[in-house]
């Protein structure tokens, strides 16, 4: 247990507003922290209920009797957050309480252990905003691989580089025909906030995915967290787009010629012979061919969502 | 049994340090135990690690309550809790650049040892500057104090596979650590503070904010400063260019923008038309797409804002200004605003100097010139024309006035010997321009040649066209790239079908069978001369010599000041100031003193003269403070800004305008729902100066920034973790990180 | 004897890897692994280990981790895994399945408190919640104990007289993350100790069978009795395994219960894991002051060897149980077992002490207080809550 230092009196409790309060134990430069700030900004003061499974997000809360979350928050078991959120959101609906129910989950809980629960909640079109902050590892337990870890990346359980590709969670969510699915960038605040607002106005299961910079897991500088995501978006590795009803696509930000190196060089996890940059570039091209094709064949309507 | 407590930060090797120390004992045959205390800590949070070594098997798995020694991995972790349970003879080993004596007040009576593990680690590339990995250095230091041989330390490193720089670092620290018992009485060591009261789950007062002061994690802090915008740095008049552009961009407040300009320059309308705009040359937006069109914004402000009321003199002193060109008028204006009675003396018959005589009205309409001169004179200025001041008159002025400012411009016109025909056919461009504006000269049907490459040459050429010339050629001995004239002037001249003969030098005028011709020599560029420009040398080939038919030759070959006005033995110092050889101080400025050649430079010169005079007369120094470093393009995060081409100012088509003296450029024109100057001002990055875009605040992952006033932001350092994202997201170099 | 300085997890991982590698001339080894604090270093070690004939699958949940182990074991490979706390709880259904399938899987339980509310520190509640799953359960007090017990567990589990999976527990953080010296045996010695795995009911094309299909109550009764018989074979098989271990490695690990200072003890305290070590220091101290106190360390919890326990307490009249676990509505789980056991000894005053729940640091001072309470007690009461964390 952490022993208090003498200048941190643990017997004074101060209430204050906001979803994520200062004094939380997240690492400096944590993408999830920034995501929570943007969530708050995008909800325009409305308080959600948070359902957070075992992940960094719930450790953020800190230790009882204090909590870094300023809104009602349920710590769920690892696989259960969409199920717990279902229960909360149903009762909210029965009692006409408009506040949104938000699952705030890491990639481990989304792509892996919670996949079945996620699929079921999506299939039932539960009235939940599901946000996955994806740092591409099991960050909370020290950096083991998840199915969100990209190909070739070394983690504590893939010393020779991961031999499988990153799972296409957006494709999976689209296949569930959820009303709204979108990728979010912590380097593109205005787009991020717009999508929170779009999600807020949509009914049914909404899936939001953000690539969450993790200085500890990625071995990058905290100060570069936002710029790394900007590079990820700019080089096309993390496309920013929306999918409506699982079939209509809208690309929000296209690659701008940023070199892949600008994203990879800043993270020691990518400094490895197991990484094949040409392979990554080929993947990016293939990914964009698909997205461009989908947008062309099944474009979103001009007024869908909340276009800028 | 020996017990050690280590105070470290999560993710930075504190537990590994415990293991390394344990290994040194293990390799010497002892029983050992090393572990950390884990909680919700993340990278950077304070943690403890423990080490036990004993001859007997260790069966104690409890946390260490009474350590024999403690190690403080980062100085920022020091606090009274470090002493908790520490035995009286225990070492407190601290990673710091300070000497043990520095802790005499906080740790009296204790044995304190210090080593600058950060410096040692960084010097050998362990970790980053923000987060150096100091555990192997501290192993060396601890080893020394625990009276181990360095060989033991080395063996532990090898056992745990820490090679390379780690051994060097450990050795350096082993040698460098110093320790002593500090004077004074040791404070009784308190038990570590117990955790707070136990609160049951159903108790009422729960759920508040954790008081973990995560500010203690930070090794850097954000701070804010202002840099000098590149445009301001480039403006010879010292205008706050960024300031007036942002007044438009942020608040569409043209009156406020005008007030900003008028602090330094009385000529926004003039400069908004004729300034070569070094501010735009320096504009950082140039590296992104196109520079901000400052000149037309300034013009727009001048044309649309409400001009303030002139002030009246408030002081007793009277100052004389000789020369009513831009420098003289600027000095007049600034002196008048400081409250002085100013007498302005002009040798010519109209106020305005070269702005009136040398700049044609199609570039600078008379009403604009007259308006801005009138504004200055209405500050209680006494203006006298037809007042030629020579040396004697100047000395007389020094007896009658508290100070004198000489800004008589460049009276001497450089000439060229073109042979006997010169007298009738050759005219100085400056004189021609003055005659033309009075309507005293027409060149109907004539073929005109203008010699020179500066603004006067362009003005003369275009004016010649407008007073009837059949055709006009500008002959210049270097290339267009070396011509000092403003690029747009050259472009507009060429559009008006003025021909430019580059790399041509004139030789002489003479008559031949068909008429008068100017014999010319083709040139090429050789080595640079003292001005740095490549010297033109004659081309040696058969057709290097050729002839131009012409009826008139206008000279625009440069000017210099007539220094005869100055008393004997005086000197223009620092370009602008004279020794006090006279009863009252005499200052010189404008082209007369600097030959800078632009209205804007003259404005700056006149203002500095006014401030010099004021300082001499009152001892009050109103000069601006030394500027901050300049915000160049590297200070700007261009990616934040989308690409947006500049607003296109309106211009009269060449075929229409070449026949009249109507103003050629019309500036930025508004359309319904589209305020042109405002739209252009929005393109300004506000380099180096905060414009409250709030990016820093909204990108802060901790939410610890507050926007609590006009351009005032505060940081809650109790919680700021020093991640540096605010600094990385400020587009204009205002937020930066400081080491603690 | 080559001693190295490693954490408990590293030691456990190394022992599992040695065992897995030892089956390379048979059908190899295969495991499912999923991370959870404080076990992660075990699976990281296994994933990094270069098995000659083995593979560790990085699965998506603990339920699947045990699923993989079940499949691997039925296919005849040596299988193992590790988990803690809620991971063990998530695994629950498949843990029962592994027991009921009679598969000799060895699982390291790095003891950690169950939640929510989340708690990462030590508590035996997680492994004890699986006590009915038809697994044997061992509780280890030191790094060496852990390494040795893991190897013994494989030996015992794979014996055809047992064929039940084994859970081997170590204290989270206190052992798992603490670096101490341990002798990790050499591969060749491990191979001397562990015969190649030969599972009688391994999936077989020649004699195709359906494993675990629908059964009538009568067969289930028989199935359960078989399991109980296997449990009843444990004392003998375990003894042999321990003797053989001593022959190969030169030391004999502790048996089911270790009675210390109990010859003439009037008062005896019972504990397991590292708390037993702290208890030992206190008992030793008090003995030196002339008090007739003793202790019983519990190593084997399942099967709970009642006769051996009765023997261990000797003639003591007061027995205190230190339970770092709790079954709501009853009391400490060790106490529950011991209470059933001591129906043969109605003269004993048996008192339960719930101490260190949720991972509090149990100091000698606290155990002294418990001992004092037990000694002067007039009668047994409901379990005493000896709260540690202030």
Give the DSSP per-residue string, B482-532. Answer: G--S-HHHHHHHHHTT-EEE-SEEEEEEEE-SSSEEEEEEEEEEEEE-TTS
Q: How far is CA B429 from CA A254, B448, B454, in A?
A: 57, 12, 11
Q: How much is the pLDDT for C206?
A: 79
Q: How close A298 gets to chain B, by Cα (Å)?
A: 28
Chain pair A-C, CB pairs under 8 angstroms: 63
Chain C contact set for B48 (CB, 8 A): none
List phi, psi (to 5°) of C267.
Answer: -125, 130
Query: Is pLDDT above 70 for A308?
Result: no
**Residue B708: pLDDT above 90?**
no
Nearest CA among C79, C338, C103 for reference residue C230 = C103
Of C5, C361, C364, the CB nearest to B26: C5
C353 DSSP β-pair partners? C322, C384
Q: Is the pLDDT confidence value at B196 over 70?
A: no
Q: Which of A260-274, B187-201, B218-232, B645-659 has the weakest average pLDDT?
A: B187-201
Question: How close does chain C come to A63, measured CA to CA in Å?
Answer: 9
- Neighboring chains of C (3 or more beta-carbon pairs < 8 A): A, B
In order, the DSSP letters of B563-630 are GGGSPTT---BTTTB----SSS-EEE-THHHH---SHHHHHHHHHHHHHHHHHHHH----PPPPPPPE
Average pLDDT over residues B381-410: 93
Subunits with 3+ Cβ pairs within 8 Å of A are B, C
* pLDDT of A8: 37
Q: Confidence band (pLDDT; 50, 70, 90) for B595?
A: confident
**Which of B383-397, B468-482, B505-519, C305-319 has the lowest average pLDDT?**
B505-519
Gap between the Cα atoms of B312 and B320, Å rounded: 17
| Confidence band of A83 (pLDDT split at 50, 70, 90) | very high
Task: For chain A, say whether B686 makes contact (Cβ under 8 Å).
Answer: no
B729 touches A at CB < 8 Å:
yes
Give the CA count within 13 Å in the CB-facing half-sphere of C259: 17
Would you say residue B199 has pLDDT above 60?
Answer: no
Is C361 in Cβ contact with B62 (below 8 Å)? yes
Q: What is the CA radius of gyration of chain C?
A: 20
Each residue's pLDDT tens digit, A85-101: 999 999 988 888 899 99
Instruction: List phi, psi (to 5°) of B331.
Output: -60, -40
Residue A213 pLDDT grade (very low, low, confident, very high; cuts 50, 70, 90): very high
Question: Is the pLDDT reported for residue B579 higher than 60?
Answer: no
For residue B455, pLDDT beyond 80: yes
| Token couple for C166 | 């084994």
C60 DSSP assignment = S
* Bridge partners (DSSP) listed for residue A181: A207, A243
> Is B703 within 8 Å of A22 when comparing Cβ atoms?
yes
Read off the pLDDT band of A305 (50, 70, 90): confident
Arithmetic mean of pLDDT, A276-283: 97
**B210 confidence band (pLDDT: 50, 70, 90):** low
Contact yes or no for A23 and B43 at CB 8 A: no
CB atoms within 10 A of CB B655: 10
Determine the average pLDDT of the residues in B36-53.
Answer: 82
Q: How far, in Å, CA of A258 to CA of A235, rounded?
A: 5
- Residues with Cβ within 8 Å of B535's Cβ and at least 6 positions away in sequence, in order, are B525, B526, B527, B528, B529
Query: Which residues make beta-bridge pairs with B634?
Result: none
Q: Are strands B705-709 and B712-715 parallel, antiparallel or unpaired?
A: antiparallel
Q: What is the DSSP string of C210-221?
A: -SS----HHHHH
Q: Among residues B633, B714, B648, B590, which one has the least CA distance to residue B321?
A: B590
Give the mean pLDDT of B489-495.
96
Q: How many CB atoms lie within 10 A of CB B497?
A: 12
Neighbours of B49 (CB within 10 A): 26
Distances in Å between the Cα of B264 and the Cα atoms of B258, B601, B625 are 10, 12, 14
Our measurement of the distance from residue B534's CA atom to the centroid of its chain's CA atoms, rounded to an integer in Å, reads 31
- A163 at C interface, C-beta within 8 A: no
What would the DSSP string read from start to end of A172-191? HHHHTT-SEEEEE-TT-HHH
Looking up tokens 């000497």, which residue turns up?
B99
Instruction: List phi, psi (to 5°) of A72.
Output: -60, 130
**Which of C38, C119, C181 best tests the B interface by mutation, with the highest count of B CBs <10 A?**
C181
- Specify whether the CB–CB gap between B463 and B436 falls below 8 A: yes
Cα–Cα distance list, C260 to B59, C270, C317, C370 (Å):
15, 10, 16, 18
Partner A, chain B 29-48, Cβ-Cβ below 8 Å: 37, 39-48
- Chain-centre distance of CA C151, in angstroms? 12
Contact between C361 and B36 using a beta-carbon 8 Å cutoff? no
Q: How far is A159 from chain C (nearest CA, A)?
A: 6
CA of residue B108 relative to chain centroid, distance? 49
Does the pLDDT of residue B510 top 90, yes or no?
A: no
* Smallest Cα distance from A211 to chain C, Å: 20
B474 touches chain A (CB under 8 A): no
> Which among A7, A25, A223 has CB closest to B41?
A25
Tokens linked to B343? 């007498």
Interface of chain B toward chain C, CB-CB under 8 angstroms: 15, 18-19, 22-23, 26, 31-36, 38-39, 58-63, 159, 194-195, 198, 201
Indicate if the pLDDT at residue B206 is higher than 90: no
Cα angle B50, B55, B58 (rounded to 5 degrees) comes to: 50
Which chain C residues contact residue A76 at CB under 8 A? 116
Local confidence band at B46 (pLDDT 50, 70, 90 cut-offs): confident
Is the pLDDT at B499 greater than 80? The verdict is yes
Return all residues near B487 (Cβ < 8 A) that are at least 6 apart.
none
pLDDT at residue A62, rounded to an integer: 77
In sequence order, which residues have a C-beta less than 8 Å from that of residue B95 and are 6 or more positions away?
A: B72, B73, B74, B75, B114, B115, B116, B117, B118, B134, B137, B138
Average pLDDT over residues B77-82: 84
Using 50, 70 and 90 to split pLDDT, how confident is the model at B574?
Answer: low
Contact yes or no for A7 and B213 at CB 8 A: yes
pLDDT of residue A7: 36
Which residue among B26, B39, B63 places its CB closest to the CB of C181? B26
Verify whether the Cβ–Cβ distance A6 to B725 is below 8 Å: no
Contacts of A14 in chain B (CB under 8 A): 208-209, 211
Helices then strands, counting H and E runs in chain B, come out as 25, 31
Contacting chains of B (3 CB pairs or more, <8 Å) are A, C
Instruction: Indicate the angle between helix axes B455-466 and B487-495, nearest 10 degrees.
Output: 30
Q: Are B616 and B582 in contact (CB under 8 A)?
A: no
Residue spans of chain C under pLDDT 70: 1, 389-390
Give the whole-angstrom CA distance, residue B361 versus residue B375.
19
Sequence length of chain A is: 308
C113 vs B contacts (CB less than 8 Å): none
Q: Chain A contact for C61, CB < 8 A?
A: yes
Tokens coding B317: 């002193």
Which residues from A are below 8 Å from C43, CB to CB?
A: 144, 157
**For residue B189, what pLDDT band results from cuts at 50, 70 and 90?**
low
Q: Under an 8 A CB cutoff, do B61 and C178 touch?
A: yes
pLDDT > 70? residue A2: no
3-state SS string over C136-201? EEEECCCHHHHHHHHHHHHHHHHCCCCCCCEEEEEECCCCCCCEEEEECCCHHHHHHHCCCCCCCC
CA gap A254, A261 in Å, rounded: 18
Strand partners, C170: C110
Q: Is B718 on the interface with A (CB under 8 A)?
A: yes
Q: What residues of chain A lie within 8 A of the CB of C86, using their CB?
A: 54, 77-78
The predicted-structure confidence for A117-138, as pLDDT tens digits, reads as follows: 999 999 999 999 999 999 999 9
Residues in A closer than 8 angstroms to C121, CB to CB, are 1
Residues in C touching B58 (Cβ below 8 Å) = 180
pTM of the model: 0.85
Which residues 6+ apart lie within 8 Å of A45 measured at CB?
Answer: none
Residue B210 and residue A64: Cβ atoms within 8 Å?
no
Average pLDDT (B78-98) is: 91
Residues in CB range of C256: below 8 A, 6 or more apart = C235, C238, C298, C299, C300, C305, C308
What DSSP state is assigned to residue C77? -
CA distance B367 to B388: 26
Q: 3-state class of A75 per DSSP?
A: strand
In this complex, is the C-beta atom of C357 within 8 Å of any C-beta atom belonging to chain A? no
Identity of the residue in B22, B62, B201 whose CB atom sits nearest the CB atom of C179: B22
């Amino acid at each position: 247990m952490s022993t208090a230092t003498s200048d941190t009196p643990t017997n004074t409790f101060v209430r204050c507003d906001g979803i994520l309060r200062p004094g939380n134990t997240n690492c400096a430069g944590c993408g999830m922290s920034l995501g929570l700030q943007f969530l708050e900004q995008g909800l325009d003061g409305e308080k959600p209920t948070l359902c957070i499974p075992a992940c960094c997000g719930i450790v953020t809360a800190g230790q009882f009797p204090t909590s870094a979350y300023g809104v009602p928050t349920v710590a769920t078991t690892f696989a259960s957050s969409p199920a717990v959120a279902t229960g909360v959101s149903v009762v909210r609906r029965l009692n006409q309480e408009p506040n949104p129910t938000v699952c705030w989950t890491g990639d481990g809980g989304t792509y892996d252990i919670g996949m079945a629960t996620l699929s079921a909640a999506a299939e039932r079109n539960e009235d939940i905003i599901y946000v996955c902050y994806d740092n591409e590892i099991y960050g909370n337990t020290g950096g083991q691989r998840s199915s969100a870890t990209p190909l070739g990346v070394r983690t504590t359980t893939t010393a020779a580089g991961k031999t499988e590709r990153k799972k296409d969670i957006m494709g999976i969510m689209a296949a569930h025909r959820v009303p709204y699915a979108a990728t979010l960038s912590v380097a593109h605040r205005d787009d991020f906030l717009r999508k929170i607002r779009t999600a807020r106005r949509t009914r049914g299961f909404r899936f939001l995915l953000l690539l969450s910079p993790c200085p500890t897991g990625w071995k990058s500088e905290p100060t570069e967290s936002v710029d790394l995501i900007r590079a990820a978006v700019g080089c096309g590795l993390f496309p920013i787009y929306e999918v409506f009803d699982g079939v209509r696509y809208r690309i929000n930000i296209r690659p701008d010629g940023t070199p892949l190196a600008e994203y990879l060089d800043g993270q020691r996890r990518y400094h490895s012979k197991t990484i094949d940059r040409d392979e990554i570039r080929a993947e990016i091209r293939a990914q964009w061919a698909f997205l461009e094709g989908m947008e062309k064949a099944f474009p979103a309507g001009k007024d869908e969502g909340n276009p800028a | 049994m020996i017990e050690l407590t280590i105070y470290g930060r999560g993710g930075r090797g504190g537990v590994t340090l415990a293991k390394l120390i344990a290994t040194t004992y293990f390799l010497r045959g002892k029983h050992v135990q090393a572990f950390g205390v884990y909680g919700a800590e993340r990278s950077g949070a304070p943690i403890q690690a423990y080490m036990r070594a004993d001859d007997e098997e260790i069966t104690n798995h409890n946390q260490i309550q009474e350590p024999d020694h403690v190690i403080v991995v980062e100085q920022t972790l020091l606090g009274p809790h470090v002493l908790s349970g520490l035995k009286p003879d225990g070492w407190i080993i601290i990673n710091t650049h300070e000497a043990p004596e520095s802790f005499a007040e906080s740790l009296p009576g204790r044995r304190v040892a210090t080593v600058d593990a950060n410096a040692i680690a960084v010097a050998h590339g362990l970790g980053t500057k923000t987060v150096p990995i100091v555990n192997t250095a501290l192993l060396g230091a601890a080893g020394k104090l625990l009276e181990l041989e360095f060989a033991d330390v080395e063996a532990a490193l090898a056992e745990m596979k820490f090679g390379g720089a780690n051994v060097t670092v450990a050795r350096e620290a082993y040698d460098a650590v110093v320790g002593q018992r500090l004077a004074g009485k040791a404070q009784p060591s308190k038990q570590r503070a117990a955790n707070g009261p136990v609160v049951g789950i159903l108790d009422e007062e729960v759920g508040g904010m954790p008081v973990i002061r995560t500010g203690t994690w930070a090794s850097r802090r954000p701070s804010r400063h202002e840099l000098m915008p590149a445009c301001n740095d480039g403006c010879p008049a010292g205008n706050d260019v960024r300031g007036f552009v942002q007044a438009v961009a942020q608040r569409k407040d043209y009156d406020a923008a005008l007030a900003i300009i008028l602090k330094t320059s009385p000529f926004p309308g003039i400069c908004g038309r004729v300034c070569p705009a070094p501010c735009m040359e320096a504009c950082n937006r140039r590296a992104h797409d196109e520079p901000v069109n400052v000149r037309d914004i300034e013009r727009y402000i001048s044309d649309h804002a409400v001009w303030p009321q002139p002030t009246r003199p408030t002081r007793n002193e009277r100052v004389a200004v000789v020369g009513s060109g831009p420098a003289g008028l600027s000095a007049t204006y600034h002196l008048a605003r400081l409250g002085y009675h100013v007498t302005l003396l002009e040798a010519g018959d109209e106020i305005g100097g070269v702005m009136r005589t040398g700049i044609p009205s199609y570039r600078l309409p008379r009403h604009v010139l007259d308006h801005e001169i009138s504004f200055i004179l209405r500050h209680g200025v006494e203006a006298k024309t037809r007042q030629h001041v020579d040396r004697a008159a100047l000395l007389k002025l020094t007896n009658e006035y508290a100070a004198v400012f000489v800004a008589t411009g460049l009276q001497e016109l450089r000439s060229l010997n073109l042979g006997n025909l010169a007298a009738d056919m050759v005219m100085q461009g400056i004189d021609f321009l003055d005659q033309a504006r009075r309507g005293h000269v027409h060149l109907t049907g004539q073929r005109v040649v203008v010699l020179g490459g500066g603004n006067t040459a362009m003005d003369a050429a275009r004016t010649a066209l407008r007073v009837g010339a059949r055709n006009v050629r500008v002959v210049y001995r270097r290339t267009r790239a070396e011509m000092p004239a403003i690029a747009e002037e050259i472009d507009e001249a060429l559009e008006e079908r003025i021909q430019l003969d580059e790399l041509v030098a004139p030789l002489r005028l003479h008559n031949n069978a068909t008429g008068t011709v100017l014999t010319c020599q083709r040139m090429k560029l050789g080595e640079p001369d003292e001005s740095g420009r490549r010297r033109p040398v004659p081309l040696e080939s058969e057709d290097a010599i050729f002839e131009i038919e012409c009826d008139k030759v206008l000279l625009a070959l440069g000017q210099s000041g007539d220094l005869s006005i100055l008393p004997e033995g005086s000197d223009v110092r620092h370009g602008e100031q004279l020794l006090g050889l006279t009863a009252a101080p005499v200052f010189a400025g404008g082209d007369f003193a600097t030959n800078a050649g632009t209205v804007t430079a003259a404005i700056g010169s006149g203002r500095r003269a006014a401030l010099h005079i004021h300082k001499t007369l009152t001892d009050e120094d109103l000069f601006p403070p030394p500027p901050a470093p300049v915000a160049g393009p590297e200070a700007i995060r261009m990616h934040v800004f989308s690409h947006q081409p500049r607003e296109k100012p309106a211009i009269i088509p060449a075929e229409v305008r070449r026949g009249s003296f109507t103003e050629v450029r019309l500036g930025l024109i508004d359309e319904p729902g589209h305020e042109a100057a405002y739209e252009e001002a929005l393109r300004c990055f506000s380099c180096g100066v905060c414009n409250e875009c709030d990016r820093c605040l909204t990108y802060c992952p901790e939410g610890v920034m507050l926007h609590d006033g006009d351009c005032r932001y505060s940081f809650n350092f109790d919680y700021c973790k020093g991640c540096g994202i605010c600094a990385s997201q400020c587009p204009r170099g205002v937020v930066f990180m400081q080491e603690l | 004897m080559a001693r190295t300085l490693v954490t408990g997890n590293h030691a456990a991982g190394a022992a599992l890897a040695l065992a897995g590698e030892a089956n390379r001339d048979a059908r190899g080894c295969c495991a499912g692994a999923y991370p959870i604090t404080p076990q992660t270093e075990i699976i990281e070690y296994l994933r990094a280990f270069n098995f000659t004939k083995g593979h560790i699958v990085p699965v998506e949940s603990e339920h699947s981790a045990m699923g993989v182990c079940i499949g691997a074991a039925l296919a005849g490979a040596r299988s193992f895994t590790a988990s803690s706390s809620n991971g063990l709880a998530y695994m629950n259904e498949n843990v029962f399945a592994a027991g009921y399938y009679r598969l000799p899987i060895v699982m390291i339980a790095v003891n950690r408190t169950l939640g929510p509310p989340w708690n990462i520190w030590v508590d035996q509640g997680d492994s004890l919640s699986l006590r009915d799953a038809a697994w044997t359960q061992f509780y280890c007090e030191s790094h060496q104990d852990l390494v040795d017990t893991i190897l013994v567990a494989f030996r015992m589990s794979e014996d055809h007289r047992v064929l039940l999976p084994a859970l081997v527990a170590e204290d989270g953080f206190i052992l798992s993350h603490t670096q101490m010296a341990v002798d990790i045996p050499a591969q060749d010695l491990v191979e001397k100790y562990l015969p190649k795995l030969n599972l009688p009911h391994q999936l077989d094309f020649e004699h195709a069978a359906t494993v675990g299909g629908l059964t009538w109550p009568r067969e289930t009764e028989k199935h359960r009795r078989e399991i109980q018989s296997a449990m009843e074979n444990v004392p003998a098989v375990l003894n042999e395994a321990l003797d053989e271990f001593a022959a190969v490695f030169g030391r004999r690990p502790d048996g089911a219960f270790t009675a210390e200072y109990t010859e003439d003890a009037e008062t005896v305290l019972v504990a397991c894991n590292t708390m037993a070590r702290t208890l030992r220091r206190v008992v030793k101290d008090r003995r030196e002051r002339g008090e007739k106190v003793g202790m019983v360390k519990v190593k084997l919890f399942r099967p709970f060897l009642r006769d051996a326990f009765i023997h261990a307490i000797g003639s003591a009249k007061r027995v205190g149980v230190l339970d770092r676990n709790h079954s709501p509505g009853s009391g400490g789980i060790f106490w529950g077992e011991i209470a059933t056991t001591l129906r043969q000894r109605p003269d004993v005053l048996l008192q339960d002490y719930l101490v260190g729940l949720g991972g509090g640091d149990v100091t000698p001072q606290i155990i002294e207080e418990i001992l004092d309470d037990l000694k002067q007690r007039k009668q047994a009461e409901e379990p005493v809550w000896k709260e540690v964390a202030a």
